[in-house]
Structure 1
């Protein structure tokens, strides 16, 4: 009796297609000038040489993902911006301590590999790396049939940065009466999309709104590092899931972050989603960045100097000392 043979491809994993995708990535990256990376895409690991200017170098590491913003991207059949989101969510965390991003890696997990979609994602990642000044040195593509449902997939990033040990910004220099300044976000960034998806799936929404919700996360690397070079920054926060309260409270738990809500009013896309989903104002501030993507804490006498360096900065509050970690006024 002849028994039909089974192989890896019949189980849903196409090794040949995976190898071709690696060649796609090599093709997308081969024209790029790699300043610090050693080796090529496709090796078992990537190497990086630290820039010589550092006397006592320390490395900073960060990991994050795009989350359920992927669902909206799939609904819109537009994967061009989520690669930028992926890089942004990682490098924006790195610069909170003053680190300069050096390298990036990605993990792309799918049920069935589609090289066209994969190239669209990788192209976005490379755009994000360009904005952040870092290099894509490798990653992992995993084809797992029936593990991810339908066309769904997962996208995770890993970033490494470098800093002088003595220049690490860890919030320890934050003190009473310091000013809290903010940089605007480009939208919802890549947080809270489980709630956003629930709203747009249950309400009638137009393509305009959904397209706007795919605006990529702003990358703050150049703006923030310019400020750290020219000013004494006491603490910083990347405003992600949990909004202002959760992220500002992490800077230095010994102090209270007091925010004037009138200086960070809900408007634009945030107000639109709030009304569409009948979300309370408190819930909006608890879940989303609500228009503020990054915060810096500095001495009050440096406020005007900071604003001259970056005119987008605006004051939203100050540091105090109470039993609470965070207070909203107004």
Structure 2
């Protein structure tokens, strides 16, 4: 009897448990309904959007702070404009010299000299000095000097040893300036920021001898241009006769002047390799600034020292050639 009833009992137990199992399934389904509810998803999305907006606002604030920390200057002023015109005039002067049109070259050279005085005076009087002005003003002078030196040497109006000294000094200082600019530029060091001269990094202070040297170089170039121009005029010979001078005395005076300029050029170039205050590197890391300064002065010393040696060799070779040419007629007369 028990064997017969046992399956029934078992089935009745199972059947009695079905309502409870069904209720549990319903409760589980009801608990898992959040998986199909879009409200939590919208809340997460809203939080992400809020975080994104806060991050964007924070990024803008950081950019604004960095902009305020990095100083910018107003570089658009009359002195800088005049300096740019000198930069443009330099290749034109060189072309005129090579073509033999020395009158126009002399006139344009005179314009460059006058504007150089005017822009410096205006910058000091009206407080328009800028870091970019301190860079492009000597750059304009050196470009004019470089172009005219090459042109005059090509036409035989300037000796090779002097042209080597002038060009070697300017090239050396230009390469040193490139190093100083890159080494002292605040991070990030990008090509765009490198050529953005409204971001000051290093400032060059011309030494005292360099100021005199620049004046003497420009005066010599003016003389080398003016002498051929005025010597072609009919009144030039009468002027020499009136003062008791000769063309030979004028040439000897120019040669002496060339030696003087050679000495000041060598002195000027070496002064940048010795004087620590010739270049001011901006920044807060004093140890790094001193290291960059020593490295820059070492670059100048090595490069310009080699230039001086080459110039001395050219000068000695020129003197030997001059002595040999002057001694040949004397030997022929003795024979």
Instruction: Tell whether the structures are fold-level matches, with TM greater than 0.5.
Output: no
Higher helix proportion (structure 1 or 2): 2
TM-score normalised by L of structure 1: 0.26
TM-score normalised by L of structure 2: 0.26
Q: Which has the larger radius of gyration?
A: 2
Higher strand proportion (structure 1 or 2): 1
